[in-house]
Copies of this chain bind each other. A is one copy, B any other.
Amino acid sequence: MKFFKVRVIVMPREGLLDPQGKTVEQSLKKLGFKGLSDVRMGKVISLKMAAENRSKVEDAVKDMCRKLLANPVTEDYFIEID
């Protein structure tokens, strides 16, 4: 058994409305920040996992994304394993 550090990033799918991101963008502009565009807001889930190897971790984490962490219709996820 080894320990792996995993980070999952869940973002609203490209092209879909992202009201949280829009609000943050407007607030940043009101605060005076210039040159900004495409502000989008998502979630990060970090976790540690004990498993035999990296590929088992990857399979398990993809399964977590499908079952709980991401909405398959509106969100994309990216998995980083350390």
Residues in chain A within 8 A of chain B (CB atoms) = 1, 9, 11, 21, 24-25, 27-28, 31, 33-51, 60, 63-64, 67-69
* Contact with A60, one of B33, B40, B47, B63 (Cβ below 8 angstroms): B33
Task: Kindly list chain B residues whose C-beta atoms are within 8 Å of the C-beta of A25.
Answer: 47
Known: A33-B64, A40-B47. 11 other contacts (CB 8 A): A9-B44, A24-B69, A25-B47, A35-B49, A37-B47, A37-B49, A38-B47, A38-B48, A39-B45, A41-B44, A42-B45
In the complex, residue of chain B having the shortest beta-carbon distance to the beta carbon of A39: B47
* Contact with A43, one of B36, B42, B47, B48 (Cβ below 8 angstroms): B42
